[in-house]
A and B are shown apart, each in its own frame.
Chain A
């Protein structure tokens, strides 16, 4: 089924929506019955009120976080893909760069973030760096796997056509890696939201993450939840965007034969 058909088909929506609605109802009822104070756990109705009442404030901060994600993820994409290409093309690069890439993920962001702030200042840059640092990894690793997972017979076929190393790379390895690359991109998109929030927590004056930190000491818990809700929505929409682009880029991959086979499973 095409992406658009899949999205518009109500069957795919009914289950998650029903589950969510049930959870919301249970939450609302429980909070009232158990008499939980609003500053501890607000009922969904209070969160909805807050979303409406503070919509301008929330929108302004949402756009800031969105910008951080947009720029940061773009940097992650370029970095990740370039590194992946280099690693797949050159043995030397693979041996020298790959271990460093893995090590980069073991650095606790909380530790380097304050240092980052001192080196590059307080603005968009440190957040972009943090988002890029967190998101480039799944993109790079998955794309490398994709570039390397070639049927050896395909490579022989290319050689018999007289292809050079570069032609094999460009015409075989790169298109072959697209499904893997998108796997990495989807993972990267999913973590980009929390990455932006972490960047704001460490030193930001705007954004939903900052708003959460600022609202907590004021006991504006409904606002905190409203911000969290918006972050979740952002994450889901970005993911859907990724899937849509995936379908646009690889129409040949999402074919009837594959989906029929999966249905039988």
Chain B
């Protein structure tokens, strides 16, 4: 009797395996979507909602794409993985892009997600630090990245100081806890549409010093990048991607809270207490003068590159030698609108 039971178990087991195998194969075969990936800049937050809308509502599928939206283990490697071909697209930053191109990394910005800086200097209202010059002799917490040092240095120079007049402290990515616990007097590297809200939600009032109001040229906080080789070898896929993203963000702009609700459904770990108020502040920064989501102005690129050259952050010495016009590409956004 035991032998018969074993035989039955064995047969059932083999049949199940075969079935699963067929199902598995079945999943892959019929759908002819092109798989692409986009590496995010950080964990999912309100700014990514348009991407998730495009994925969930089928805008990417309409374009024939199956987009893998994921968070890389180390956000500082996005430009490298895109340039090396490991990722098709990535979300990165204007200064980092220019530095990479300066070092010969072939990446190009194809869309500007956020049209103005989100990075800002923040302090507790009770500290009385309301302007950059109030930071003299104080401790400023940062994520320990070169970009933030350069930005705060410019803000200080705008009011007659330099970065040497403050004590920079590397607090990693936990900027708000460092500020709230008063381990530092101010922080740089936090977004005024996100981290600031988490602070105010906990009952702390903040002073926020915006970059573009303090001597830093207006720049695009977050851009979507692709590699030069991808653009030349596979422009149709890039176009399809941009089309899908455009539809997603147009949707999100018309109903920001709805987009966040969709994001919450797909990514339950996000905190609505931050993202809902945050997206209300953020959504206006998605819109462009000509209505085409992701549009990039030549003047903004040139102005920012000049700033980087002046603060000695690039090897090339002028807007021309830096070949700024190759750093960004509006053609895909143009065709998507």
Contact = CB atoms under 8 A, between A and B. Distances in A.
Interface of A: 37-40, 113-114, 117-118, 121-122, 201-205, 210, 213-214, 216-219
Given A118-B183, A122-B183, A205-B144, A218 B168 contact: no
A210 B144 contact: yes
B170 A210 contact: yes
Contacts of B76: 213, 216-217
B144 A118 contact: no
B178 A216 contact: no
By size class, the interface of chain B is: 20 to 34
Nearest to A38: B104
Contact of B103 (A39, A210, A213, A214): A39
Given A214-B145, A217-B146, A203 B171 contact: yes
Given A40-B80, A114-B177, A205-B168, 17 more contacts: A37-B105, A39-B80, A114-B172, A114-B174, A117-B178, A117-B183, A118-B174, A122-B169, A122-B171, A203-B170, A203-B172, A203-B174, A210-B144, A217-B99, A217-B145, A217-B147, A219-B105
Contact of B84 (A40, A121, A204, A210): A40
A117 B169 CA distance: 11
Interface in B63-93: 76-77, 80, 83-84
A205 B140 CA distance: 12
B103 to A, nearest CB: 4
Interface string B121-162: 000000000000000000000001111000000000000000
A219 B174 CA distance: 24
Given A122-B170, A218-B99, A219-B99, A37 B145 contact: no
Contacts of A216: 76-77
Contacts of A118: 174, 177-178, 181, 183
A190 B70 CA distance: 34
Contacts of B285: none
A218 to B, nearest CB: 6
5 contacts: A122-B178, A203-B144, A213-B145, A216-B77, A217-B76
A39 B146 contact: no
A117 B183 CA distance: 9
Nearest to B147: A217
A205 B172 contact: no
A39 B171 contact: no
Given A214-B145, A217-B76, A117 B174 contact: yes
Nearest to B141: A122
A62 to B, nearest CB: 18
B188 to A, nearest CB: 14
Interface in B196-238: none
A38 to B, nearest CB: 7
B309 to A, nearest CB: 15
B145 to A, nearest CB: 6
B61 interface: no
A205 B146 contact: no
Nearest to A121: B183
A204 B170 contact: yes
A34 B169 CA distance: 41
B334 interface: no
Given A114-B177, A217-B76, A39 B169 contact: no
A205 B170 contact: yes
A204 B145 CA distance: 11
A236 to B, nearest CB: 26
B174 A214 contact: no
A74 to B, nearest CB: 24
Nearest to B139: A122
A229 to B, nearest CB: 20
A114 B77 CA distance: 22
B271 interface: no
Contacts of B62: none
B270 interface: no
A213 B84 CA distance: 20
A110 to B, nearest CB: 10
B100 interface: yes
Contacts of B145: 213-214, 217
